[in-house]
Amino acid sequence: MRKNFYVLDSITNMHVGSGDLNYNIIDNQIQRDQITSLPTINGSSLKGALRHHFENNKNVNDYVKEIFGDEDLGKGKYRFFEANLLTMPVRSNIRSYFNATSISIIEELIRYFQNFKINEALMTDLKALLEVVQKTNLPCLVNCTSNEKVIVENYGVNSIEFTMTEDLVKLFDDELVIFDDTSFKRIAQKLPVLARNRLGENKNLWYEEIVPKKSKFYTLILNEEKKISDFENSLVEQVIQIGGNATIGYGYTRFNLIGDYDE
């Protein structure tokens, strides 16, 4: 079995709709994990976006049915998992934003690596980071170079020193704010809501929740049979549109391969 682990970098704002009816001020809400309530991209949404992208890729479109499946061939050769939230941008007094994550996200990522038996080196790095972070008051900023008092989203931030390995930088980037779970969920519950104009006779505004650009997600794609090199090679560093509102630039996301593993 082949396992490819990706980090998805949101280049633009993203709206992957939940499809649920609601009676709040927000007409269109994003997909959220049922347990954590954090933003997520369901596996079916991710698979659909990839299929649409590669149906229009002349190097891969001959393999689309083999990759994704169809009524005649049955299931495809690849398995697409949901994309879980890794980091979100948070505003700061010393720069435009920092990448932010939480204790539970790091813990869940460690369990993810353990369950799927991938990337033991990165799992060890995450455990070492978590051990240092849990000894300080949160939120904390890893390896801050500023002499100013740092504030992110109205939270005062402590600074810690920790040598970020090359793999951790590839995962998070080099400067990272880590929150306790409660504070991070509070931030994630207050995502930007944009007003949109309705088309047609009804001119009233409607409101749409978005995941802000610079957010990161992680996901796993499994291949139980033969590798389709044209597909896997074409996916690396590709910008792929996910979710709705492509015509106004939503959802453009870069797929970064962190590691590929064979059993």
The label of the residue with tokens 């939230």 reads: 85
User: Is residue 149 in a domain?
Assistant: yes
Do the Cβ atoms of 176 and 25 come closer than 8 Å?
no
Tens-digit pLDDT profile for residues 110-127:
999 999 999 899 999 999
As to burial, measured by CB atoms within 10 angstroms (0-12 exposed, 13-18 middle, 19+ buried), residue 203 is: exposed
Task: Give tens-digit pLDDT for 148-195.
Answer: 889 999 999 999 989 999 999 999 988 899 999 999 999 999 898 887
pTM of the model: 0.92
Cα–Cα dist 125/167, whole Å: 8
Instruction: Specify if 199 maps to a domain.
Output: no
- Whether 186 is covered by a domain: the verdict is yes
Start-end of H helices in 63-161: 64-68, 103-116, 120-133
116, part of any domain? yes
Q: Note whether residue 156 is domain-resident.
A: yes
Establish if 224 belongs to a structural domain. Answer: no
Question: Would the pLDDT of 200 be above 70?
Answer: no
Nearest to 96 by CA among 198, 213, 192, 3: 213
| pLDDT at residue 202, rounded to an integer | 59
Are the C-beta atoms of 236 and 8 separated by less than 8 Å? no
Contacts of 259 (CB under 8 A, 6+ apart): 4, 5, 118, 119, 122
Question: What does the DSSP 8-state code read for residue 43?
Answer: H
Question: d(Cα 133, Cα 118) in Å, to the nearest integer?
Answer: 23
Dig out the tokens for 218 from the structure.
Answer: 């992680």
Output the pLDDT for position 207: 78
196 within domain boundaries: no
**Helix segments in 140-228, DSSP class H:** 166-172, 181-189
Range of the domain at 170: 89-190
**Number of domains, the chain:** 1
> Residue 45: which of 24, 77, 14, 70 has the closest Cα?
14
Pairing of strands 176-179, 98-102: parallel
Q: Is residue 5 part of a domain?
A: no
